Amino acid sequence: MAAVAVAVTPEAGVLLRARGVQLGYWTPGGFTLAVADATFSVAPREKVIVIGPSGCGKSTLLKAVAGFIHPIAGEIIVAGRSTLAPGPDRSVVFQEFDQLFPWRTVLDNVAYPLRVNGWKRGAARDRAREFVELTSLSHAGDRYPHELSGGMKQRVAIARALALDPAMLLMDEPFGSLDMLTRARLQQELNGIIDRTNTTLLLVTHSMDEALTVGDRVVVLAGAPSRVVEVVDVRDVGEPDTPHYAEARLHLRSLLGVRHDREADDGHGH
Binding site for other proteins (CB under 8 A): 66, 68, 86-88, 90-92, 94, 96, 98-103, 113, 116-117, 144-147, 164
Give min distance, CB of 128 to other proteins, in A: 13
For residue 44, give the nearest of 220, 234, 202 by alpha carbon: 202
Q: Considering beta carbons, is residue 96 or 216 the nearer one to other proteins?
A: 96
Rg (CA), the chain: 18
CB-wise, 159 or 255, nearer to other proteins? Answer: 159
Q: Whose Cβ is closer to other proteins: residue 94's or residue 213's?
A: 94
Q: What is the DSSP letter of 138?
A: G
* Partners of residue 228 on adjacent β-strands: 221
Sign (positive or negative) of CA dihedral 225, 228, 230, 236: positive
Torsions phi, psi for 125 (to 5 deg): -60, -45
Residue among 68 and 245 whose Cβ is closer to other proteins: 68
The minimum distance between CB 78 and other proteins, in angstroms, equals 14
CB of 232 to other proteins, least distance (A): 29
Which C-beta is closer to other proteins: that of 155 or that of 227?
A: 155
CB of 163: closest distance to other proteins in angstroms? 10
Q: Pick from 151, 166, 146: which is nearest to 106 by CA?
A: 146
Contact 4, 83 (CB under 8 A): yes
Instruction: CB nearer to other proteins: give 38 or 92.
Output: 92
Amino acid at 83: T
What's the min distance (Å) between Cβ of 67 and other proteins?
Answer: 8
**Residue 171 or 228 with smaller CB distance to other proteins:** 171
Sheet holding 30-42, edge to edge: 6-7, 81-82, 73-78, 16-27, 30-42, 226-233, 217-222, 47-51, 201-205, 168-172, 90-93
Shortest distance in whole angstroms from residue 202 CB to other proteins:
14
Residue 166 Rama label (left phi>0; alpha psi -120 to 50; beta) = beta
Residue 266 C-beta: closest distance to other proteins, Å: 26
Give the whole-angstrom CA distance, residue 88 versus residue 113.
Answer: 9
Contact partners, residue 268, CB within 8 Å, separation at least 6:
none
